[in-house]
Structure 1
Amino acid sequence: MAINLQKAEFILSAASPKDFLHDGLPQVAFAGRSNVGKSSVINRLLNRKNFARVGAAPGKTIHINYFKIDGAFYLVDLPGYGYAKVSKSERDRWGKLMESYFAHPELMTLGVMIVDSRHKPTADDCTMAQWFKDTGCPLVVVANKLDKLKKSEIEPNLQTIRDTLELDEETAVIPFSAEKGTGREDLLSAILSGAGLK
């Protein structure tokens, strides 16, 4: 089934669980630390410059944003975690919102978790990976900022990500550069397979 990624529309920002969509369409949930380039990855995936807002200050996604892609599935942009300079009460609110979303594993068809390929995943990343694993839905890990690595660093860094997040062999770790477009086809393929659209 050919999906027209140009046909992407913003549907809604869910500020509380009552806003979550339950319409049966596959939901591909994107998560990542606030400064990991999640919006840039989404923009690169859709080949749209400013589709997902790229904030100058990390942590601008404060709700759960739903984008409908070609009427076939939702790309669900979860709030960034672990960095944003916001009040503790605001962070707690996001945390609760995320927990509520993950408490409905039937909503999620596929998890896409974005990490920084240059660094060992943080404790927050490990927690996030565990949340995805606990839902039982398939997970794809995107190692972004690949263009900042030397060739010799790529394999060891990908292995560190796999080991730190305790990923099984089935879980793909996709080397990715939002800047250069490296890994876009692999990610697209993983999303369409995971969402049952291939």
Structure 2
Amino acid sequence: MKINSAEIIISAAKPHQFPAGPFPEVALSGRSNVGKSSFINTMLARKGLARTSQRPGKTQTLNWYFINERFHFVDVPGYGYAKVSKSEREAWGRVMETYFQEREQLKGVVQLIDIRHKPTEDDVMMYDWLKHHEHPVLIVATKADKIPRGKWDKHVKQIKEHLELHTEDKIVVFSSETGQGKEKAWKEMSNLLFGEK
């Protein structure tokens, strides 16, 4: 996909701030240090559009990126971080539930998982929760450049088994360092957004 325009249009902390409008969107979900900002910047070919944070769990808003004046990426807060108070986590949980349960523009979720490790308990819980709410999920296995290519299949199999991945959900092996998987990820996301095969 050719990216002609990409800009962050709002960081929303409450449901009433979610942007209106007809544009389809995919949500990007993953653990705090899984490489979500790098994924966004690589996919949009924009170096500093999504800020990479030195403090995992720092993203406390849902960030809407408007792309090609046609669709949105929605960067949701990373899960699995502990340095947030219980009350903050609960408040966030309610905002996230509202988003995932009620957002009509949401066409699917990209869940990022570090290919080097088996999915964490948080990864499994998130995937199960998304499937419970009947969202299509694209798994993006990040940091593929950190392990030898010959081991990718073994690690992908490990992710599939741990998540008990539904047959309709795909996995893309991805590296923001090399661009590996970028085209395939765009193909799968276009399918979610517009029904394009």
Q: Which residue of 1 aligns with 2:23?
A: 25
Q: Is the Cα–Cα contact under 8 Å of residues 35 and 83 in structure 1 kept in the other structure?
A: no
Q: Deviations over 1:119-157 (max 9, x none)?
A: 111111111112221232321000000011123321111
- Which residue of structure 1 aligns with residue 76 of structure 2? 78
CA offsets per residue over residues 80-119 of structure 1, 9 Å max, x none? Answer: 0102523232222222221111121533111100000011
1:76 maps to amino acid? V
- 1:101 and 2:92 equivalent? no
User: Percent identity at matched positions?
Assistant: 43
Residues 1:135 and 2:103 are matched in the alignment: no
Unaligned residue ranges in structure 1 (runs of 5+): none
- The Cα of 1:197 is off from its aligned counterpart by 6.4
- Corresponding residue number in structure 1 for 2:156: 158
1:13–1:65 CA contact under 8 A, matched in 2: yes
Q: Contact between 1:34 and 1:82, CA under 8 Å: does it hold in 2?
A: yes
* Number of residue pairs the alignment of both structures matches: 196
What is the alpha-carbon root mean square deviation over aligned residues? 1.6
Q: Using the alignment, how far apart are the partners of 2:126 and 2:71 within structure 1?
A: 22
| TM-score (structure 1 length as normaliser) | 0.93
Which aligned pairs between 1:85-96 and structure 2 lie closer than 5 A?
A: 85-96=83-94
1:59 and 1:80 in contact (8 A); partners too:
yes
The within-5 A match list for 1:34-53 is 34-53=32-51
TM-score (norm 2): 0.93
Residue aligning to 2:188: 190
Q: Which runs of 4+ in 1 moved over 4 A?
A: none
